[in-house]
Structure 1
Amino acid sequence: MHRSGHVGIALLFVTPLAFIVATVYGIEIGIGTLALGVSASDLPDRDQQIPGLSHRGFSHTVWAALVVAGLGGIGGFFLSTKMASSPPIPIPGIDTLVSIGPILFAGLTALAILFGYLSHIVGDILTVGSAYFGMDIKPLFPLTEASVQLGIAKADSMMWNSIFFVLGVVATAGVFVFN
């Protein structure tokens, strides 16, 4: 799956969470949740830039997703406590962000990252290239060597990447229009 396809799938994964957050805490926080989740969807492929990591190896497991989300949550906690003790910043929604408190902010940060990260793994599971090029997705490795592949789309298919992107954008727009 290429970037546009991953963005579309991330939008499909993160939009329900962002909708709930927007409904409860405000549209600014919901949009921030969405942006963070979509940004996190690119993280598993950073394995290609780290010496010693194989592409679609550990970085494409639920364990890596949990570690990265946990670290993001910890970062969110410290960022929130820092913002609460700093002078006001003239950014729309920042007061709401500070008012939800560091624990809740950390939890929302971790969830957004987790949803985005897992969406990437699902996107790669959908591709044919995983099995064909020997880049199996083993989401529960090292507990099991079982690979998961649906093989419904080629990673470089402009059609499939566009379909996922459009579906994600339409779903997100629809949800936020009705909020």
Structure 2
Amino acid sequence: MQQTGHYGAALVAYAPVGFVVAVLLSAELAAVSGFVAIGLSVLPDVDMKTARIAHRGVTHTVHFAVLVGVILGLTGILVGVQTNFGAPFVLGSLGLVIGTIAVASHIAVDALTPMGVDPLFTGNRYSLSVTTAADPVANYALFCLGVTAIVLAAGLASVVVA
């Protein structure tokens, strides 16, 4: 998929997390976390910028998703320790979840295309062949679905908190 589709998929995956963060922690942290998820959602395509890594190879695996989650989780712990922004465990846990779901959403959406993905890096590709990666209708539909999910999550959170 293209960036637009990946942004939408990340928003769909993040919406339930954002709801919980907004209700239990703060709307501001939920918003910042959402932008981080959007930014990380295209990270697996870094493989397109180098000839050393095959496209939809190692960066499109569950292993990579967990690695990104662990790195973001450790970053959250450091932020919590170095500042009064939040409890280290909470920020670390949130980082782990955001990093993992951002990359996992990318992998899931790429599985919709004929090229598919090898999520376990075993040599077995999986593809639902629903749409091509360049299909603008599919990409914008995913984006609209993501925006709708995040708006509903934010609206519901504001009602619960009020």
What is the match of residue 43 of structure 2? 43
TM-score by length of 1: 0.83
Q: Residue 178 of structure 1 aligns to a residue in which SS?
A: helix
**Larger-Rg structure:** 1
What is the match of residue 168 of structure 1? 146
Give the residue type in structure 2 aligned to 1:22. Answer: A
1:53 aligns with 2:31: no
Which moved further from structure 2: 148-157 or 28-37?
Answer: 28-37
What is the match of residue 134 of structure 2? 156
Number of positions where the alignment pairs a residue of Structure 1 with one of Structure 2: 157
TM-score by length of 2: 0.91
Query: What does the per-residue CA deviation read over 1:8-59, in whole Å, with 9 as the maximum and x for residues that have no partner?
Result: 1111001111111111011111112211111110110011224411111000
C-alpha RMSD over aligned residues: 1.2
1:24 aligns with 2:38: no
1:111 aligns with 2:107: no
Once the two structures are superposed, the pairs formed by residues 52-71 of structure 1 within 5 Å of their partners are 52-71=52-71
What is the match of residue 112 of structure 2? 126
Query: What does the per-residue CA deviation read over 1:107-144, in whole Å, with 9 as the maximum and x for residues that have no partner?
Result: 1011111111100001110112x1xxxxx411011xx3
Report the Cα distance in structure 2 between the residues aligned to 1:60 and 1:125, rounded to whole angstroms: 10
Report the Cα distance in structure 2 between the residues aligned to 1:159 and 1:43, rounded to whole angstroms: 22
Q: Is the 8 A contact 1:9 1:168 kept in 2?
A: yes
What is the match of residue 160 of structure 2? none
| Identical positions, percent | 29
What is the match of residue 77 of structure 2? 77
Q: Residue 151 of structure 1 aligns to a residue in which SS?
A: coil
1:73 positional shift: 1.0
